[in-house]
Structure formats: C-alpha cells, structure tokens
Structure 1
Amino acid sequence: MWSGTRSQLSGFRRHATLGAALAAVLLTLAAPAPALAEPPAPPDSRVVGGIRASILEFPWTVAITKSDGSPLCGGTLVAPAMVLTAAHCAIGRQPKDLLVIAGREDLLTLGGEIRALTGIWIHPFYTDVRAGDDVAVLRLALPLARPTLPLATPADTLLYGPGSYTLALGWGRTAEGGFPSRYLLKAALPIVGDPLCQAVLAGFEASSMLCAGYANGGVDTCQGDSGGPLIAGGKLIGVTSWGIGCARPYQPGVYVRVSTYQPLLDLVLRS
C-alpha cells in the first residue's frame, strides 16, 4: 500500500538534523562510517567525512529534502520514478512533505533536477530502526532520465562477505556533532562479520541488517546520510540506517540488508 502517514521516529542516528547555519541551504547525506573490521582502510578514504565524489560517476545518488528545501536524508534511484530510502526518513510524512533532488553534486548550487512525490511506500512492519524493516520507496511525480542502480538479490551472498569493501555516499556530517558537507562524499568501508556486529551492537539482526566500518573508527556515515546508498559489485547492497555516534572505534555503522528485501521491493517497484 502506498501511503504517507505513519508514527514519527524518535530519531536514532543517521536521521538528518543539521545546524541552523546550514539547514536552509544544504540538502543532506554522507560522511564516513563507524568501524569494526580488521582490514586497513585504503589511504584515500581514511578522512573523516570521506573524499569528494562525482555525481556523474554516481548519478543515481539523490538528496531528499522537506518541502521547504531543508535537508533530510539521502536515497538511491532504483527505477526512473522510484527512490529507495530508509523508512525512518519518511515515517509520518505525506508525499507533499518531501522533495527529491537528483544530479546536484554541490548542494550550494541550483544544479540538477527537483521532483515532487505522488506516493510513499513504507515497509508495513517498520516500527523502529533497531527493529529492522527500515526501507521505504518514494514515487516521483515525473521520472528521471538518469541511470538507476540495481538491487542486490538473495543470490548475491559474495557481496556481503566479511572484509569485502563497500562504498558509502552522501552529503551528511563530516564528524560527529559537526557540519554537513556541501559536496557529495564517498567512503570505502569493509563489511564486518555478523557475530562481531551482534557482539557490539544491541539490536543488530543479521537477517535484515549488515554493518561496516573499521576497528579504530575514523570513517563512517553520519547524520544526514540516512537512506543513502551502500554499494558493492555495481549493486545497491545496503541503505544507511543507524549507528552509535559517528566513526567511533568498535561501533560500525548499520545498514539495511537490501538482498533480504529485494523480492518485496521488486513488487513495490512494479506497482
């Protein structure tokens, strides 16, 4: 069912809450993600807030704002008129409350395309980020003539192997409690094994979640990155969901395990 009315999320971590100075002009998303994996970080990604990314290289990465243009979350164009994001970004909102901006790398410019919404689908079992099912689909009023990113499927088990590198994208805060980035950023993050995630993150559920990051922290997604993409092998394998602080040691970021939801999402995208 397509709807825009659900109970409001109390707000855990990745939900975009920006400082007043930038709230009027920035549209939110990425930073680097907390850490728990053994592999060392690539030298060019170990920068709090990530490094510059080109929207031409990642054209399916979009920003989601409130209707007044204030930043909220990130998302991924998965069909010409469909954006996959986190349920906690859309819960309690109507289509008229949100806008999607595509093709804008520098959020202090007016580039790209803005789309209104005609529908919001939220996973029917979603209640809270720690309970899982943190997925939502936004239906655009007009399709975008841009590349889309395919979803990981249950057959893509190799993409979720511990130690495998992923790429997170967004315009979110570049440090815990810091300011968001005006530019699209990217950060390489290794997947952390499920037993380790369960050991350090209360509420982690391996069947519907994955976590990624470094044992000593320093690279992570953060506030403003909610709903944004985690990619590997040319597919969307995760949706930025929650975490404890940002880039803290032994606190990896948590992402929706897209492959678990792919069969259901395919039905939604065809509806």
Structure 2
Amino acid sequence: MAATLHRLRSWLGAALAAATLSMACVSVAEAAPTPTTDGEFGVQIVGGTRASTSTYPWVVYLATSSGFQYCGGTLVAPNKVVTAAHCTEGDSASAVRVVAGRDDKNSTAGTVARVTKIWIHPSYTDVTRGYDVSVLTLDRNLSQTPIKFATSADSALYAAGTSSTILGWGDTSSGGSASRYLLKATVPLTSNSTCASAYGSRFNATHMVCAGYTQGGTDTCQGDSGGPLVAGGKLIGITSWGDGCADPGIPGVYARVSTYAAQIQAQL
C-alpha cells in the first residue's frame, strides 16, 4: 500500500483496505493484524491509561461471533449502540456481538448481546466523505447506563481547546499490538482550520471534528473505530479515521455527532 493512504481505525476495515486497495484510515494501510504471543491483536489508544466500564458504563465493543474485538461503540439507549458506519458496512446483524461491562477482553465479565438490526447512514460511502455513523439495535436492554449525545444545541462543546475523553481497546501505537484492557486518554479538540491544514479537502467541518495535541503522542488508533469522543458529559464524536496515530500536527478525525442527532434519535 502507498504510504499516502489513510487507514480505517477498525481491524476489519484494515483487512478490507489491504484486500481492495481502498482508502482506510491511519498512516500506512495495514493488512489484517497478526496475533502476538499472548493472543492479542493490534493495539490500544496511543498514550492511554487503564479505564473501567464501571466509570464509563456506556462504552462497549463490537466483536465477531467468535469473540474477536474489532471496533468500539457507545450505548445511547438501553438497547441502542452508536458506532461507525465503516465498522458495520456489509455486516449482517446476526454476525455482530456487542460486549458491555467488560474491561478485560480475556475475561467473561459483563454482557454479550446479539444485534437484531444495523442502521447505517444512507449517505455513507467513505470515511473521508462523512456520514460515518451507524446505530445497532440489541436483542435486549442492557443494565449499563447510557450516555446522552450532542445535538445542534451543543455547539459550545465543539469549541477548539475543549477537553475531551477518548476510550477504546485499539492500538497503543501505529502498527503495534492490541490492548487487552480498556484504555482512556484526554485530548483537546482542534480548530477546524487546524484540521483542514492537516487533511486538506478530506476534512469536512460539517461532518467531522478533530482532536489531538499539536505535539502528538495521544490519539485513537486502529481497533478504536466506532468508539466515543466525549465532552461535557455527552457523546460528541465517533472515532473514524486519521493519518497515522498520534503523529505531531495530525489529529484524529471523528464523526461530528451533533450533525446526525436527528437521524440517531429516529433510530431510538
């Protein structure tokens, strides 16, 4: 793959990118991950620290029927999960599992729910065109507490410099290996002009928001796709794509939840 391609921040997206030579989300698009000696794949949030679902009960992960974690998600109603469209594109509902209340992927804690319906924004075609939003309907109501999501009334939450929280079980470094445990990190939102400087015409401020430090070092990465970007106690972004992971001057890109609030609400 050419080094100029971006890489999707999901493992399945990376495998698809390697197979089709389509654009994916972080610096160099990678082939499907190789297991490490402890059986883990990929990596976690770059620059993150351990977190608990008891503190963040609404953060969940998506898994295959065999238990392989490939994306994140956010519980926004007892039986509804918001994730990225590129995490669910082409999937049948019966093939997806949502795991809640499990910090350690090697444990049996929490609940594994089946998915009965997948909604993908009808305008979604590619992460760089926006609309990277999907809503999953579960086969049961979960006991975990959902989180509210941003609407058009929450424009203040998107101000440059706003402190936000990212969570996931994905890469801890670009091309690294996956985290066994849930990680979290704090990153500031960037201005639209800063993000446009990094990504040019691929960045669309209506559909996207960026977050990260100028010096880099902290970011979501492969395996974190679909997971939450939270500020002010609300879900404001969905982990989507980016060039590299935690590189200086290149923030992570998230789907701007407030833009899609009406469509998400319609699924609830």
TM-score, structure 1 length as denominator? 0.86
Amino acid at match of 1:82: K
- Contact kept? 1:29, 1:74, Cα under 8 Å: no
SS, match of residue 250 in structure 2: coil
d(CA) in 2 for partners of 1:158 and 1:207? 15
Q: Does 1:241 align with 2:240?
A: yes
SS, match of residue 267 in structure 1: helix
Compared CA separation, residues 112 and 29, structure 1 to 2 (3 A): farther
What's the RMSD between the two structures over aligned residues? 2.0
Task: Please list, as runs of the form range in 1=range in 2, the aligned pairs for 1:154-233 lying within 5 A after superposition.
Answer: 154-202=152-200, 203-233=202-232
Q: Deviations over 1:71-91 (max 9, x none)?
A: 210000011111000000000
Q: What residue is the counterpart of 1:261 in the other structure?
A: 260
The CA deviation at 1:261 is 0.5
Amino acid at match of 1:12: A
Compared CA separation, residues 119 and 226, structure 1 to 2 (3 A): same
The CA deviation at 1:21 is 3.1
Q: What residue is the counterpart of 1:102 in the other structure?
A: 100
Q: What residue is the counterpart of 1:78 in the other structure?
A: 76
- Contact kept? 2:40, 2:177, Cα under 8 Å: no
Compared CA separation, residues 209 and 220, structure 1 to 2 (3 A): same
- Contact kept? 1:30, 1:228, Cα under 8 Å: no
Q: What residue is the counterpart of 2:50 in the other structure?
A: 52
Compared CA separation, residues 30 and 77, structure 1 to 2 (3 A): farther
d(CA) in 2 for partners of 1:22 and 1:156? 45
Task: Please list, as runs of the form range in 1=range in 2, the aligned pairs for 1:112-191 lying within 5 A after superposition.
Answer: 112-191=110-189
Q: What residue is the counterpart of 1:13 in the other structure?
A: 25
The structure with the largest helix share of the pair is: 2
d(CA) in 1 for partners of 2:38 and 2:239? 20
SS, match of residue 162 in structure 1: coil
Identity of aligned residues (%): 47
Amino acid at match of 1:137: V
d(CA) in 2 for partners of 1:65 and 1:11? 23
1:31 to 19, 40, 45: 45
The CA deviation at 1:30 is 4.5
- Contact kept? 1:25, 1:107, Cα under 8 Å: no
- Contact kept? 2:40, 2:179, Cα under 8 Å: no
- Contact kept? 2:44, 2:179, Cα under 8 Å: yes
- Contact kept? 1:152, 1:262, Cα under 8 Å: yes
The CA deviation at 1:11 is 5.8
The CA deviation at 1:23 is 9.5
Amino acid at match of 2:103: E
Compared CA separation, residues 195 and 22, structure 1 to 2 (3 A): farther
TM-score, structure 2 length as denominator? 0.87
SS, match of residue 156 in structure 1: helix
Amino acid at match of 2:24: F
- Structure 1: 5+ residue runs without aligned partners? 1-7, 33-47
Q: Which has the higher contact order (CA 8 A, sep 6+)?
A: 1
The CA deviation at 1:114 is 0.2
Compared CA separation, residues 223 and 119, structure 1 to 2 (3 A): same
d(CA) in 2 for partners of 1:254 and 1:22? 31
d(CA) in 2 for partners of 1:235 and 1:29? 26
